[in-house]
Every structure is written in structure tokens, then in C-alpha cells.
Amino acid sequence: MASGFFALLDDIAAIMDDVAVMSKIATKKTAGILGDDLAVNAEKASGFVSSRELPVLWAIAKGSFINKLIILPIAFLLSAFFPLAIIIILVLGGLFLAYEGAEKIYEYFFSHSHSTTEITMETFSEEEILTLEKGKIKSAIVTDFILSVEIVIIALGTVIKETLTSQIVVVSFIAILATVGVYGIVALIVRMDELGFKLIGLSTKENSPSKIIGNLLVQALPKVIKSLAIIGTIALLLVAGGIFVHNIDFLHHVLPKLPSIIKEFSIGLIVGLIVLGIVNLFKKMFGKK
């Protein structure tokens, strides 16, 4: 009886070791998309009045968690019974991400009236701020959904030959890591200035370490936010291009000698501009009607 119990413990330990190894591999495979996810969501969570940054980020994080609760069971079912649907969903998601990235570039060069401004009480009324917040939160959650699909599918691909139990444990771990890790880091980024001010207040000496670090954090935040807008746009196009290259056979074999990062960005941008042109054409047609 006792030997059977200890044998069961050994089996459990072996399974946990296997899961740990598979989780490590899956984390490495998804590291790139997690970095893109971080850049995109940090850019989308910025631009709010200081007191609203964390509530808005919390709302987006809750939406991200719900996204993954929806995606995970569907991904397991489709992987088992209709794997082609996963590729179709990925490509459709890639079209949306490419469109978002191309739209940001288009607005930067041709539509300066839509340039990003911080949402403050001086600029908008309280009711307008809440409306703008809801719009940005909704946009961030939709983008997160598509990035989450990509993360889940990549993680699932690393354990696709394993048992269903191993798939569920590993992919669920990656999904939780993506939500908690990404949004935890985003929260630190958007609160850099608050931390800086607290460090400045710790000492009255002008050249104290806390004051120097605090001033650096306060001065760095606007530059970080601006750079995240650029990095986030590039990340959208890279993720979209990667989806197209890895899931459309024709594009996979186009320009094989070109570095993958340039190839994926270029394809993401070209497809994004095509989708943007089609969307704008429909908007004009609808406007005329």
C-alpha cells in the first residue's frame, strides 16, 4: 500500500518535471510575441491622467484574462477536431493587427489632427474622458485578444504531440504568465513618474542617489511613452507579418534570403496598407450614401 503511494508520488513528480521542461520551451518560443504584447499594451495603456492609469490598466488586464478564458478551451477543441480553423483565425487576426499598424503610420504622416494627446480634465470634460477611456480600453482588449490567440497557438504548437493534460497545464501557464507578467510590467512603466517623485522626496540633499534616480525616472517617462508608441506600431506589423509568413505557404517562400525581421515587417506593412485602403474606400462609399 505504502509502496503504491510512493510510486504515485514518483509519477506525479515525473509529470511535474516534464511540464516544467515543456513550459520552459513554450516560454522561449513565445518570448518574442510576449515582448510585442508588452510594447503594444504599454502604448495603449498610456496617455491617461495619472489617477486613471491604474484603473484603466486593471480594466484592460481583466479583459485580457477573460480573453484567455475564451481562447483556451476553443483552441484545445479546434486543435483536436478542426486544426485548419486555427490558421484561418490567425490570418484574420493578422489582417486586423496589420490594419492597426498601418493606420497608425498613415495618421502620423497624413492626419496630424488625430495625433495622440494625453487625456486630461483640462482637455476634456469628465464625461468625455470616460467615453474616451472606454474606447481605448475596448480597442486594447480587442488587440490583446488577437495577440493572445497568437501566444496560445504558439504555446500549443510546442506541446501538440503531448497528452491533453500536459497541453492544458503548459498552455494555461503561458496564458497566465502572459497576462500577469505583461500587465505587471506595463503597470511599472506607466507609474515610473510616481516612483520617481517618491524617491526625490526621500532626501533633502541635492546630489543624493535617491534624488538622482528619481529625477531620471521622471524625465525618462515621456521618452519611454513616445518610444513605446513607435515600438508598439512596429510590433503590430511584425506580429502580423509573422502570422502571414508562417501560415501562408506562398509568402513563406517569398524572398528566402531576406532577414526574417525585415521580411515580416515589410509584408505586415504592405498587407496593412492594402487593408487600410479597402477600409477607407468603404468608409468613403458609406459616407457618400
pLDDT tens per residue, range 93-113? 889 889 988 988 888 888 655
Q: Which domain holds residue 259?
A: 2-288
26 or 263: which carries more pLDDT confidence?
263
Beta-carbon count within 10 A of 62 CB: 14
Predicted pLDDT of residue 5: 37
pLDDT digits (tens, 9 = 90+) for 186-235: 888 777 777 788 888 777 777 778 888 888 888 887 777 777 778 778 88
Predicted pLDDT of residue 14: 43
Predicted pLDDT of residue 270: 94
Q: What are phi and psi of 161, to 5 degrees?
A: -90, -5
For residue 140, pLDDT over 50 is answered with: yes
73 or 150: which carries more pLDDT confidence?
73
In angstroms, how far is CA 80 from the centroid of its own chain? 26
Task: Domain count for the chain, please give it.
Answer: 1
Check: CB of residue 268 under 8 Å from CB of residue 244.
yes
State mean pLDDT over 115-139: 67
